[in-house]
Amino acid sequence: MRRNDELAQWDRDHFMHPSTHLAQHARGEAMGRIIRTASGVHIEDRNGRRMLDAFAGLYCVNVGYGRTEIADAIAAQARELAYYHAYVGHGTEASITLARMVLERAPDHMSKVYFGLSGSDANETNIKLIWYYNNILGRPRKKKIISRWRGYHGSGLMTGSLTGLEVFHAKFDLPMDGVMHTTAPYYFRRDDVSQSEAQFVAQCAADLEEMIDREGADTIAAFWAEPLLGTGGIVPPPKGYWDAIQPILRRHDILLVADEVVTGFGRLGTMFGSEHYGMRPDLITIAKGLTSAYAPLSGSIVSDDVWKVLERGTDENGPLGHGWTYSAHPIGTAAGVANLELLDSLGLVDQAGAVGAYLNARMAEALADHPHVGEVRGDGMLCAVELVADRDPRTFFEPDRKMGATVVGHLAEQDVIARAMPGGDILGFAPPFCLSRDNVDEIVEKTVTAIAQAGL
């Protein structure tokens, strides 16, 4: 086995990490952690330190770590058939079975699933499918996409453009042309604090209408949205939001894409966030929870109506010119089948709903009245605590103080991993679904301590 100091040196010398301060990491100034193993809700690093992972990796290890059922399925698939492509109608038992399982769980009006590898590439696929769709329908101008400030849809060229967080744009020359961002459905951060929730929702709807009128509905193809803002702050939609937005989209013949990379497969205590919030999307993006991250796999689910146009397109133009070498990779799809079976057999979607409700209730009980907590919010197995300098009038901390990251650091000192969400001092919690009530009590208690340790 390699020595830890040797690995750490190699890491600094050779490994360029995603979403990392590259210079500080290479100089050895930034925190790094070399993970060795994990089980249930705990990860363990190479120094033998065990931590409760209250963010399930990047909200993806939904069934928890160390599930031998999935590991065995991956190993068996690798032995029998590690790879074959899915081009020109090829498939495997795993890819075909998983497609069926996904559609059995998806909203009734969905028709087919295309498999990719990451949430970013699945969104990229959906953009291309929508452009293709409008070309087949003879509407070559209808191509622009509206997403929301604080939405997160990946970090590719187009998907990074859809993402509505400054840090993913700056110095990358993003967003690209044809992507526009409308108001974030983030009631706590509304500009006008005197607005009621209903007034704020009306404003979100009016802002959208105004953008559509300005640009021309004949130039706008789709509206891209997470059912609940995830990386942008873990913000459930304000009451009535989807009821206000969807009729506008329908009126202007704008497709709705539900990016369910976080919410798909149970995180809200329902199979999909769309059903949870009464959305009727035309396309759905899935990833993380599809395999609980035991192997990279994503999917683009298309509705019956969209599918019919795609079919017509290939009848008119020949095969679809879109595909990845690793689309529907057998190892990923075998992991997906085992993961969805486990989700069912252990009743983990219900557990996410029940224990998630307990987490949100306990967190609110412990912190909602704290003078430096502006809001405790969440839904299902997602919870956020937003820190403020002052509650009344609502005043945020100067970003330089990095209060969110400081509290998350104090939580890590107590062996609990939370995430400092970008764009504010927001503590994010998105644990695996197998979290117990005792785990919840530990997370809440240590969060209270960490906030105190940060001097708040």
Contact residues: ligand PLP, CB under 6 A = 58, 118-120, 123, 152-154, 226, 230-231, 259, 261-262, 287
Residue with Cβ nearer ligand PLP (92 or 231): 231
Least separation in angstroms between CB 430 and ligand PLP? 10
Q: Which helix (H) or strand (E) holds 104?
A: helix 93-105
**Using omega within 30 degrees of 0 as the cis cutoff, is the peptide bond preceding 393 cis?**
yes
Q: Is 124 helix (H, G, I), strand (E, B) or coil?
A: helix
* Secondary structure E strands in 56-143: 110-116
CB of 119 to ligand PLP, least distance (A): 2
Minimum separation from the CB atom of position 229 to ligand PLP (A):
9
Please give the angle made by the CA atoms of 357, 343 and 329, to the nearest 5 degrees. 130
| Count of Cβ atoms closer than 10 Å to residue 60 Cβ | 21
Q: Which helix (H) or strand (E) holds 53?
A: strand 50-53
Paired tokens of 227: 């059912």
CB closer to ligand PLP out of 119 and 269: 119
Looking at beta carbons, which residue is closest to ligand PLP?
Answer: 119
**What is the dihedral sign for C-alpha 334, 155, 52, 434?**
negative
Closest to ligand PLP by CB, 122 or 343 = 122
- CA nearest 155: which of 426, 422, 427? 422
Contact in structure between 162 and 147 (CB atoms under 8 Å)? yes
**Of 58 and 346, which has the nearer Cβ to ligand PLP?**
58
DSSP readout, 233-291? T-BPPPTTHHHHHHHHHHHTT-EEEEE-TTTTTTTTSSS-HHHHHT---SEEEE-GGGT
Least distance in Å: CB of 377 to ligand PLP? 17
Q: How far is the CB of 441 from ligand PLP (least distance, A)?
A: 28
Residue 156 C-beta: closest distance to ligand PLP, Å: 8
Q: Which is nearer to ligand PLP, 151 or 269 (CB)?
A: 151
In the complex with ligand PLP, the residue whose CB is nearer, 382 or 454, is 382
Burial of 2 from C-beta contacts in 10 A (0-12 / 13-18 / 19+): exposed
CB of 246 to ligand PLP, least distance (A): 19
* DSSP conformational letter for 176: P
Specify the residue, 119 or 175, whose C-beta has the smaller distance to ligand PLP: 119
Residues 6+ apart with CB under 8 A from 405: 420
- Smaller CB separation from ligand PLP, 299 or 374: 299
**Shortest distance, position 260 Cβ to ligand PLP, whole Å:** 7
